[in-house]
Every structure is written in structure tokens, then in C-alpha cells.
Chains A and B, each alone.
Chain A
Amino acid sequence: MLGEGDSKTEPKAPGGRRAGGRGPERLGRRAGQRRRGEHDAAPRADFRGRRVPSARQAGAGPGRSARFSAPWRPTGAERPRRWPCGGGCSVGHCHPLVVQAAHEQNQVLNTNSRYLHDNIVDYAQRLSETLPEKLCVFYFLNSGSEANDLALRLARQYTGHWDVVVLDHAYHGHLSSLIDISPYKFRGLDGQKEWVHVAPLPDTYRGPYREDHPNPAVAYASEVKRVVSSVQEKGRKIAAFFAESLPSVGGQIIPPAGYFPEVAEHVRRAGGVFVADEIQVGFGRVGKHFWAFQLQGEDFVPDIVTMGKSIGNGHPVACVATTQAVARAFEATGVEYFNTFGGSPVSCAVGLAVLDVLEKEQLQAHAACVGSFLMELLGQQKAKHPIIGDIRGVGLFVGVDLIKDKATRTPATEEADYLVSRLKENYILLSTDGPGRNVLKFKPPMCFSLDNAQHVVAKLDAILTDMEEKMRSCETLRLQPEAALLSPPLGECALLLVLGDPELGSLPSAVAPSFQTFCL
């Protein structure tokens, strides 16, 4: 069993630095001047000229708490609670370095971006280093929703087109414009607008092309091509293809590799742009890369990337990154873009501190390591508990798909709801998502440890075992693992009887159909 601190892979330098880099001299950097967050033995000055010890020195420095020098971990008194990043606390709730950065800046200046300030440009520069070179122009805002709305505006100005292609079950935000492009929302509200076109979610577990398909990436991309063609036949024009790099609300979906590059080709040929919504999944969560879209290949570069949630560890920050061309087209309207709070010195200080912590504590590598371990443990659970239909994930973005029936893969909605309530009783916070509300979503703070993973899975195991003994409300809760592999698939009608059968036990009252989808 892996112990904490072991790593299956060599921790790589997080931040996804581009091959070849930008050259030895960054603009404005005088020789010898250190970038914020660089670790070395020599102290550096902060904005007020105070000598600030480096991380290594911090523990030894007078008046500095020892905890600053080590990766921050919750202390013994705290229960190992886990919540899939509801507030976007990516580096850990109340991380002292992030708090310190916000506090220091709050005491000095917090005003708008119409004045020159170093923080905003420094932050933009640091972000640009994590992205492919052409994504070098930034707009700062306060929420992922604001970011996606701006992305929509940018796409439309740049292309001169209006229509948008989105994925089924997508969620891009709560603003009027984004409800319109979020099937997850509009299906329950105003319905689909004529300028919105929905392509199938590239879900290789539950979608039309599954794990047994020879090339699901191309197959799903062809669906997008079909949608684009039909749009053009109606005389309409595509401004953008909008997709979460890893659809979360859609059920923790990992699009097959190669899908985005193919889609981008179809969309760009039609004069549209590719918008990658990284709000849920950016900043190293996937472990292997800084940005989830990078899983789709080195050569794949979206035209616009939106980021939020984890960017500020809970502070309201968000960002849009795009190309010079898109930015210039937007400028050409002659209309200023001003966001009152976006890009403020405090928000940028917070953003920079989060980047520092991600780097200093090697959280990206950590996510890869703990994520792999978690997947392995969950894989063992899948073999043991037939209700687990699928485990999918990358880094610390994992989904556990619960099913009533192995053949039909019917979502085990009520069972998932019940499981979540039982986990809460055990002081573990989890939520579910997916159109069937049956996918357990794991996207914890990035400091989530191997111990935490072990603990959660142990509880999950115990509860599922209990459900198999006492609840047995669906076929998969009644099958033994060996039986599940050997027995023929059962019809769905058999399942309907279960809920009302007193011999088999009814579901506890906690499982009322009042469950709300959590969309984080």
C-alpha cells in the first residue's frame, strides 16, 4: 500500500511550462530580480520594501510560524472532511499563505484596474506561462459565470457569428446568457433557443459510443460535425463550440483523447472558435497537466479558455485567456470593457498566492499521485460492489457511476442519494451529479491526502456492504460480485418491484425525491 509521500511518478514541475520557454529575460525583469514565489535561500523584498524570507527560511525567521515552511496540512483536531471543492478551495480551506497574501494587500490597496498596478500584470504573466503561447491576453473578472459570458461576447465579436454548439447536460453558469447555452439548465426553464445546438456528451460509459467502440473520439466529433453542417444548412453561422474540458455536471465525464482536436477542426472550418471551460477543472487538478484541455494533446490549443472556482481558493476571482486576434477584434468595437472588481490588486495577489502554493507544495504532482491511488482503491471497490458501474477520473477529478443494472446501466439515483446521506453521517461530504444524479463526484481540495482517500473509500465500502445486506433495493445491490459477472442481464421490470417489496426492505425515508442536483 502506498504511504503518504510515496509517489508513483516523479513529481514534475507543475505549471506546465512550455517547451522552449519564453527566453531567459522576461519583459521588465531586471537581472537578478526574483519572481514572486521563486524559492531560493536569498530573501526578497515585498512591495513595501520589507525583506521577506523565502519559504525555506520562513521556519527559522523570527516571528514566523513554523507552519509556513512546510506544506500546509490540517492538524489532528480537524476531522478529515472532504467536500468536492464547493467553494473552489483548491489548495485547502483557509490556506495561510493565501490568507496572508490577501490580508497584506488589503491593508495597502484594493482598487480597480483602471490604474496601473504590478499585481495584475504579474498575475497575467504568470498565468500566461502555464498556457500555450498564443493564449496570452487576459481579462479578469469575479466569477466563472462572468468569464463564460465574456467568452461568448468575445467569440461573437471575433467571428461575427451568433450560434453556439454545446454539449448535452453542459452547465456554464447562472447568467441569462449562460442558461441559454446550458442544457442542464434550459431544459428545465425556457427551453432551447434557436441559436443553440446540442451535440451528444462524449460519454464513453453511457453515451451512444461506448468503451467497446473502435474510435469514440472520432465518432463523437462526427456528431459535432453533423450538428455544424445542419446549422449551416439552415443558413446559420457558428460563433463557438463551448465545452467544459471535463464535463462535471454531466457526470464527471472524461472525453476520449483526440475528441477536442477533431471538434476544433470542424468548428474552425465553419468559422467558429473553440471555448474550453476550465472553471471546474483547471489549475493542476488533473495531475498530469495544469489545464484539463491539455489532456487532449500537446497540439490542441483552444481559442478561449475560461477559469474560475479554484483560481482564488474561495476568493471571487475568474479569468478569460485568449489570443491577440480575438482580443483585438473585441477592442475594435470601440466599447470599453470594465469590470469593477476584476483584476483588483487583492484578487491578483490571491491568484498569485494560489499559484505559488500549487508550485511550492507540488499539488499538481500530488493530485496525480493521490488521484491514481484513489482510482485504484475505487477500482477494488468496483470489483467488490456491483452497484459501481464505472470509475472514471484523472488526477483529483473522479466519478463513481452507480447503476441499478449492469446491462442497462440504469442510474441508481435513489441509492446514490442514500449513500451520500450515509456518508454525511460519517462526516464525509460528497455530492452527486450527472443527468441521472447517480455519479459520486470527487473533486476535493488538492491537499487531499492518501490517508483521506483510504478513509473515504473504507467508509464507502462499509456503507455499500451495509446497503447490500439491508437495502437490496436494486439488482446490483443483490448480486454478489461473481454472480454479477456470470449471470445474464435482468430486465428492468424486476427492479420496479423492489421498492415496494416489504421482504426486501424499503428505502429509508432519507431518500426522498427532494434531492437537488449539486452543481459545483
Chain B
Amino acid sequence: MCELYSKQDTLALRRKHIGPSCKVLYAADPIKIVRAQRQYMFDEKGERYLDCINNVAHVGHCHPEVVKAALKQMEVLNTNSRFLHDNIVEYAKRLAATLPEQLSVCYFTNSGSEANDLALRLARQFRGHPDVVTLEHAYHGHLSSLIEISPYKFRKGKDVKKEFVHVAPAPDIYRGKYRENHADPASAYADEVKKIIEEAQNRGRKIAAFIAESMQSCGGQIIPPAGYFQKVAEYVRGVGGVVIADEVQVGFGRVGKHFWSFQMHGKDFVPDIVTMGKPMGNGHPMACVVTTKEIAEAFSSSGMEYFNTYGGNPVSSAVGLAVLDVIENEDLQGNATRVGTYLTELLNRQKAKHTLIGDVRGVGLFVGIDLVKDRQKRTPATAEAQHVIYKMKENRVLLSADGPHRNVLKIKPPMCFTEEDAKFMVDQLDGVLTVLEEAIGAQTESVVPENTPCRTKMPKEAPSELLSDGTPDPKENPGQKRNRLCADKPSLLSKRLKT
């Protein structure tokens, strides 16, 4: 493979010219990827990795049909949506056909962040209300307006929660307030939203929207219990607000049985606004907001134009259409169901075998493995998760960890992921966990006392070691010393493994 720069030089140039807030994966040993096809990525040495991370490459990296569609249109026309063109209307029609009937008006943008920002503008313009209810650990994008409604971000930074933002507990039935043993966690969590809305109303505030990822990804692969969204919608609409379903991570058939994740909650749940992005163009920058005629009309009643320079251009629309075609022609939804079920089954067997696995949750090809130090207390195994990620990389499997404690292994691969891939991934994981547990077990018997700080008390924020540039940042969280002890653990473990 012919590189322009050696990996070392690439890294050096990156440090010189790319904003240091832009992190690389595997900071301690970054990967240089030069090629990808389907669900595999190749580094500069030609080593092949199984990609379990990239939901963006939805139909498979560099899918030839999508590439062809882009080329064909790029050669002919790529201009803005102020001119009439067939692609944008055809695409809007095809998208609307995947959604409930009332969701029929599309706005095309370039990124999920732009889509979510527009969703907020639509919601606020609708009845003139300003406030937003969001979920704990939510992440809706990197724009100023979205950091404000993304506790996943604003709790980490210097930003304080704005008064017009209200944070409800994430409906996490494994680690949240109401768990799997609760009689009706959906209602319990929805009542939390109701309480928040009532408190806000009593203070004279007006709710514009409730926004939630249909399944939280950064929040740790959270699948809200059935019935939750219906009840929340009732409370929100009761006070004149709208429901925004953020499908940016999880749309386009990833859950298998349905095209959109919110559809898992039943036909009687229809959001007012749906945002989509990431997988939409298989890597091409595009996104979309779909809403009702009523909301769209309210938005245009201001008389102010909405123009997005690149949104809805003929090439993006052609790419979007090609992706829809591939999803259909290759029955990727069916594949997601089959392979997802198989994967979850294999992982549940691993759960029975490995005490480190606290929970396996997922639907279709959206799966999370929640690693814990203690199954009773469900203490997040943050350092262990980091260790697993690096070991899996050595075994040529790309995985990432997320969740507020960075302990949930996230699996959301390209939709062409096969049963063989699932088996391979799980076999590697089994090996890594076995060795890790042996080392931990051995260590427990030796000098490390039971009450080391990182065992008894988890810091609020786990170190983002996986995504850092390697230098520990003392400002990141106050529990840094404890975390470093945890962070040291993998190297201690690996030392032991070598002997």
C-alpha cells in the first residue's frame, strides 16, 4: 500500500495541524487505516480488522453501488436545492415512505448535528416555547445549541446546565433508577419526565420539546423499555411540546425488525420530528429532518427562508437513494435480525461464562456489553473495558467503549456483518476475557488489597483514555489519581501475563 507519509509522520503532522480536541482511537497506539471494504478495514501494513464500530458505513465500506451512484451524479450536476431537481424529491418521497404517514416533510442537511439543531428550531418555532427536556447522558451533536442539551458533553466541560434545559433520568433498566426487577420501569421513567414538566410549568416555563435518541449510544447502548415513549409523548404534548426522535445513530434498519428504532415502541407512537444522519449516506456527509406538515408550516410562517448550501444536493440525494436500494436489495434488515440474534445469543453464553459481563443488551445489530467488576453492585469495569478494547485490537477486532463510565462495549457494525464475523468477534472476546479474568483473579490473591480506591468508589467521569492523545489531563475530572491507578491496572495485568 503506497502511503504519502509514514505512520509516524502522519501522526506528527496530525499533532501539528489538526486541532488537539480531535482525538484518535487507541490513543496509546493509534491505527492508520488506508482501505476498507464491507465490514473490514485495512491498515498501512495490509492487516485486516473486523469493524464492529462503524455504523456510518451502513451498507459496508465503499459499497460499489453507492460509489457508482455518487460518480454518476457528480459527473452530471452537483448544485444547491434552490433549483428543481428530481433526486431530492425522489429521495424525500422514498424516505417518507419508510415513515408513518404524518411524517412527510423533509429538510436535508449535512450532518446529524445540523439536523438536530434544525429540529430544535422547528420545535421552538412551532408554539414559541423555548425549553427542552433531554435525557441524562444524551448526546445530540457538537454544535453550541446541542451541547446545551447533551449532558454527555456539558457535564464534562466547563459548561453549566442552562435554565431552559431539563434533564430526565435515562431509561436505563440495567444501571438506572428503575431496573429490570421494577414492576413497570417504562411508566416509572415516564413519570420522571412528567414530574420535570410539571416543575417547569410551575415556574412559568414552557416546554418546546422532549428530545431523545431512540436508543442512547453514547449513553451506553440503552434500549428504553416498551411503553416509555408513548407515555412521555402524552405528557409532553399535553403541555404543547413536541417529541423529537433522534435516529442519527440507529436508523435505517439497524434494529432489524423495523426501519426506525422508534417503531419498536409500537404503531401508536409517532414522534413529531425525526432526525437522521450517520448511516444515511454510507459515509457521505448528509442528514435529514422529517416532520409533519403542521410543524413545517409554522416554521415557514415566519417568512424567513431556510437554506442549506449543500443539503439536498443531487449527489447527496443520489447517494441516499442508492443506500436505500442496497438496504432493500441485500435484505440488510433481515440480516441485522438474523446476525443480531445470533450475536446476542453467543454473547449471552459468554455472559454465563465471564463474571466481567454484567449485561448484554441489544436489538438487531445494535448491541452493548456492559462490563462490571461486581455483578451485584454493577460497578462499571472501566479500566477493564479499556484493556479489552486494546486487546481486541491486537486480535484484529475494532470495538469501542462508551457509556458514562466508558465500560460498555459498543457493537454497531456495517449491516453486512455476518454470522462468521459474529463468531470470530465473540471467540476473540472470549479469549481476551478469559485471560483478563485469570489475571484479575490471580491479582486478587496477591498484593492488591480489596479496598483499593478504584474498586470501592467509581469516579463520576471515567478517563477518556481511549480517545485521548495519551497525555493524562488533570482537569478532566477530580478523581484522576484514582483513575490512574485503574488505568495502570492493564499494564500491571499485561506484565503479569508476560511472566
Contact = CB atoms under 8 A, between A and B. Distances in A.
Contact of B41 (A87, A111, A308): A111
Contacts of A36: 4
Contacts of A346: 283-284
Interface in B91-148: 109-114, 117-118, 120-121, 142-145, 147
Contact of A339 (B17, B111, B315, B475): B111
A125 B71 contact: no
Contacts of B460: none
A124 interface: yes
A176 B302 contact: no
A2 to B, nearest CB: 29
A237 to B, nearest CB: 16
Interface in A88-125: 88-89, 93-94, 96, 99, 102-103, 106-118, 120-122, 124-125
Contacts of B113: 146, 339
A115 B79 contact: no
B342 to A, nearest CB: 26
A175 B111 contact: no
Nearest to A98: B74
Contacts of A48: 1-2
Contact of A93 (B2, B7, B19, B77): B77
Given A94-B76, A520-B309, A27 B25 contact: no
A332 interface: yes
B224 to A, nearest CB: 23
A488 interface: no
A27 B12 contact: yes
Given A36-B4, A174-B308, A334 B157 contact: yes
Nearest to A187: B304
Contacts of A517: 305
B22 A177 contact: no
- Most B Cβ at <10 Å: residue of A116, A327, A339: A116
Contact of B78 (A96, A113, A188, A314): A314
Interface stretch (B28-36, B166-174, B260-268): B28-36
Interface stretch (B53-61, B354-362, B415-423, B450-458): B53-61
B24 interface: yes
Contact of A27 (B16, B286, B305, B315): B16
B20 interface: yes
A73 B306 CA distance: 33
- Most A Cβ at <10 Å: residue of B11, B19, B67, B158: B19
B6 interface: yes
Contacts of A344: 283, 285
Contacts of A28: 5-6, 9-10, 12-13
Interface in A270-310: 308-309
A323 B361 CA distance: 44
Interface residues of B, number: 93
- Most A Cβ at <10 Å: residue of B14, B70, B284, B310: B310
Interface stretch (A136-144, A213-221, A222-230): A136-144
Contacts of A47: 1-4, 34
B62 A110 contact: yes
Interface in A300-354: 308-309, 313-317, 320, 322, 327-328, 330-344, 346-347
B21 A336 contact: yes
B438 to A, nearest CB: 31
B34 A117 contact: yes
Given A106-B71, A110-B284, A138-B19, A143 B307 contact: no
A143 B12 contact: no
- Most B Cβ at <10 Å: residue of A109, A188, A316, A343: A316
Contact of A137 (B17, B158, B467): B17
B139 to A, nearest CB: 10
B277 interface: yes
B184 interface: no
A53 B277 CA distance: 38
Interface string A466-493: 0000000000000000000000000000
A338 B466 CA distance: 14
Contacts of A367: none
Contacts of B305: 516-517, 519
Interface in A476-520: 516-520
B47 interface: no
A338 B77 contact: no
B315 to A, nearest CB: 7
A317 B111 CA distance: 11
Interface in B257-291: 277-278, 282-286
A189 interface: yes
Given A120-B14, A175-B143, A316-B316, A143 B114 contact: yes
A88 B158 CA distance: 36
B473 interface: yes
A335 B155 CA distance: 10
Contacts of A152: 144
Nearest to A87: B79
Nearest to B71: A103
B33 A116 contact: yes
Contacts of B109: 143
A114 B77 CA distance: 31
A102 to B, nearest CB: 6
B153 interface: yes
B476 interface: yes
Contacts of A315: 78, 285, 310, 315
A316 B21 contact: no
B156 interface: yes
Nearest to A126: B17
Contacts of B30: 115-116
- Most B Cβ at <10 Å: residue of A146, A185, A343: A146
Interface of A: 27-28, 36, 45-49, 83, 86-89, 93-94, 96, 99, 102-103, 106-118, 120-122, 124-125, 128, 136-139, 141-146, 149-150, 152-153, 157, 174-177, 179, 185, 188-189, 308-309, 313-317, 320, 322, 327-328, 330-344, 346-347, 516-520
5 interchain residue pairs of minimum CB distance: A28-B9, A124-B17, A121-B13, A116-B32, A341-B285
Given A94-B78, A320-B19, A327-B21, 8 more contacts: A27-B16, A110-B283, A111-B56, A121-B17, A146-B143, A176-B144, A188-B304, A334-B156
19 contacts: A87-B78, A103-B70, A110-B62, A110-B282, A113-B18, A114-B23, A114-B24, A115-B31, A116-B11, A121-B10, A142-B114, A176-B145, A188-B302, A308-B309, A333-B156, A338-B22, A338-B23, A341-B110, A341-B111
